[in-house]
Structures are given as C-alpha cells and as structure tokens.
Amino acid sequence: MENIQMNIIDIQKKIKLGEVTSDSLFKDSLNKANKYQDKYNCFVTLINTKEQVNNPNSLLNGIPYALKDNISTKGILTTASSNILSDYVPVYDATIYKKLKDSGAVLMGKTVLDELAMGGTGTTGHTGMVKNPWNSECLIGGSSSGSAAAVALGIVPFAIGSDTGDSIRKPAAFGGVVGYKPTYGRVSRYGLFAFASSLDHLGCFARSVEDVAIVMDTIKGHDEKDMTSLPDESVVYLDSINNDIRGRKLFYIKEICDRKRYENINDEELHKTLDNFYSVIDKCKEMGFVVEEVSFDETLLNAIYPTYISISCAEATSNNANLTGILYGPRSDAKKVNDMMFDARTKGFSELIKRRFVLGSYILQKENQEKLFFNSGRIRRMIVDKFNDLFKEYDGLILPASGGIAPKAGSDDLDKLSKRYLLLENHLAIGNFGGFPSITIPSGLVNDMPVAINITGRVKEDVVVLNMAKKIEDVLGCKNMIARGDK
C-alpha cells in the first residue's frame, strides 16, 4: 500500500521515523490527483505549492487533505462549482480551514460539488460530472462528490465536505468510504457558503472511523464567529472509540426495511442491499448490541422528502439572494440593474438551481408561507420529536444508507413517489432535521459496488455514535477500502 493510502496514525508514525516526509506525501497526493483528474474530475483547483504550519503535536501534521469548494479559503479560488462564482477569490479563511491549517494538515486541492451544494448526483458542477471511482459509468452522488471520490481513490486520507440532506453520507456510501455528519453546531460553519442554514453541517470523509475521529478532534469546537456553534467538549473522540458497546441499544424502522414491502419490486440490487443490511443486524446482535425493530408513522416518513425540499429551497433562495452579478458574479453590459441581475442569474446558474430558486421564491411568497414554509417547519418538528422520543430508549438508529448501489449516469430517475425512493433514499435527511450526529460506514459489496449502513444518534452524543460505528466497522472488515477502478 502506498504511504498516502495508509491510515493517519500509520502515516504519522512514518513521518516521525523519517521514513516519509510531508513534502513527499504532498507530491504523491498531487501526482495521483493529476493522474485521475481527467477521468474522474475530483478537483476544481489543485494547490501546487505546499503551505504548512508545522505542528508536531498534531496527528494531522504534514497530512495532505482535500476541501470542498464551497468553503472559504483566503487567496484561493472558491467557486462552489457555479459559473456565477467561477472567478471568486475569498478574502478570509473559514474556521474549519484555519483549524486544519493550524493543525499542520496540508491542503492539496478544492473539490468539485453539485452547484452551490444543491443536488445529490455530482453532475451539476460547472466543471462537469464527478464519476464514481468504482465504476466510471456510475454516479458518486453529491453534493460532496469530489471529496468522496478523492478519498475513495486514495488521493488523500481524508477530505472535508458539507451535508444539508445527505451530502456527505450518501456519496460515502456510493464510494465505499466513511462519511460523518456531526451534531449541528459541533463544527463551525463560519466560511461555509450557506445553502440551507438550519440544515447545513460540516463534516468529513475518511477510510476508517478512527481517521474520522482524528479529524473531528481537530475541527470541532466553539467559534465566536458562528453563533450556532456548540460549547467545547472535554472529550477526545479518538480516546473513546474503543469503549465497550455491550448493552447499547439500536433500532431500525420496519416501514423502511421490511422486505415484504419490496417483494413485488423486481430490483436485484435493492434485495441484495437489504440482505446485506440484515446480515449486519445479525452481527451487531452477536457483538452484544440490542437491536429491535420499531414501527414509525408512515405518513411522516413519506413527508421527509417534500419537507426537505420545501425548507431547503426556501432557505437557499434567501441565502443566495446576493448572487446578482452586482455584488458577486460577472456583471453584464446591460444598462439597468434589473437587467444586469436577470442576465447574471439566467446565465450563471444551471437549470436545477434555477428551478430550486423559483420553487423557493414561490414557497416564500406571503400568500404561500403559512401553507408551505411554516407547515414544513411543523412537520419537521413532529418528525424530530418522534425521534427524540425513540432516542430516550435507544442509543442509535441503524438503517441501510441507500436502497442500492450507485446508479448509472444518465439513467432514468427513480420514481419519486415509489416506496423505495421516498423511504430508502431520503431517510438520511432526518439527521439534518434534528441536527443528530450521523455516520455512514461501508458494509460490503453488491455486484462489485459498495453498499453501506448508516448510524444516527442523540444530539451531542457524537462520541457514542463514533464508538458504535467503530465497533461495527471492526467486525464488518470493510475499512481502508480503495476503489478498484474500472477493470
């Protein structure tokens, strides 16, 4: 295994023994990025000059990483993968970037995302589609597509992403890596380009839960520049991930996982994915977990997707109102302000983004707010309250991360009203609704493509979620996976 593809602790040991240098790791990372860029399109920008704050007390010292391109980096192009920001260079650093820089981690590139982080396919970035390293004919998912693919390819040991509905955890599932969305406020969002502020989280990708814990220990903590950030914790995640889990209680939702619901669906990948999930459940029980099936109001489950769309589009429309071609974006030759704005927003955004902004504007119109926006907030609260009640008895929710393997690029969309789509493909948004810590870990292969499970826990109990995930990962044996690429 190449040095850059090893886990963080082993790389750090080699650095301290003088067997490898930060300079050579940075060079190896850049070489791999350049090798794969044309085929997989992970990066918007590669950083060809190594900059590092030496911090010998940090496990991330000298370790290359990648950063999603909707995170502000002073003096470095930051586009959010949108034409309207294609030449934007920030004048300040995001808190997460500053923390990583101070830890000695080395930024080697800014990664492609779905435009403005809106989307789950990895196809709408202004530089083109990000392809799945396991099969370039497949999607990697989004919006943190480039970060997921960079870790899956072994270009970097870890990468930073953002997650508003499942934008770290779903690409992690499709890429065979670990994706973690912490408790809302656990990581400062100062310097993150806002999509939907009540749902946005910053988190990370890695190839093991241990590496996720190491990264989280660096990036978590209170930030006076983000009023939603939580007070600092006294716990070190890395020191707690091997705690005993015997007696921990997990639940899964019958209405999402019941095989009988899907028995009339002719979908081999769906059924194999459910087989994989139930085999994980059996292993969890053997380990000492208590795992129980719970029934949940299906009307509320079916409301997850429309509630997410309503809230996220409304908040996105408000948050991105500054992208007018006047404050940000290319200014047209039009003589009137309204014409300038019309030109910029017509030419600067993809069709998907324009549709979301139109929908968000409609939802926020005075005559529609009560029925659409405020009702969505009420439904969100009902869902979160139900899960908080369950978390009084259980330590976590365990579910398949998706209903199958990564879909082929250009394939027809899943039926948006089907049971599989509404339930299996959208339940991860629950973690964003409630700000719950949530992690996706690989659980095996179906038709030579990765599948994964997701574990979601109580607010502020990140350490418990990481601990449970680490113990399950040890038994499944799917950590440190590198995408095999196209045969």
Please give the span between the terminal C-alpha atoms of the chain, in angstroms, as a whole number: 19
Residues 107 and 126 sit within 8 Å (Cβ to Cβ) = no
Phi-psi region of 417 (alpha: psi -120 to 50; beta: other; left: phi over 0): alpha
Do residues 387 and 434 touch, judged by C-beta distance below 8 A?
Answer: yes
Amino acid at 80: A
Q: Is 411 among the catalytic positions? A: no
Strand-pair category, 158-163 with 64-68: parallel
Nearest to 36 by CA among 139, 145, 150: 150
CA distance 218 to 105: 10
In sequence order, what are the residues at sequence separation of 6 or more whose Cβ sits closer than 8 angstroms to the Cβ of residue 106?
Answer: 22, 25, 26, 50, 51, 52, 62, 63, 64, 65
Instruction: Report the C-alpha dihedral over residues 75, 79, 84, 87, rounded to 10 degrees.
Output: 40
Query: Which bin fits 41, alpha (ψ -120 to 50), beta or left (φ > 0)?
Result: left
**Catalytic entry in 143, 145, 376, 438:** 143
Q: Is 470 a known active-site residue?
A: no
Is residue 68 part of the annotated active site? The answer reads yes
Catalytic residue among 167, 188, 402, 443: 167
Give dist(CA 184, CA 456) in Å, integer.
13
**Catalytic-labelled residue, pool 22, 29, 68, 98:** 68
The residue to which tokens 């370039």 are assigned: 136
Give φ, ψ of 439 to 5 degrees: -135, 140
Rounded Cα gap, residues 289 and 343, in angstroms:
57
Q: Is 294 helix (H, G, I), strand (E, B) or coil?
A: strand
Q: Which residues are catalytic?
A: 68, 143, 167
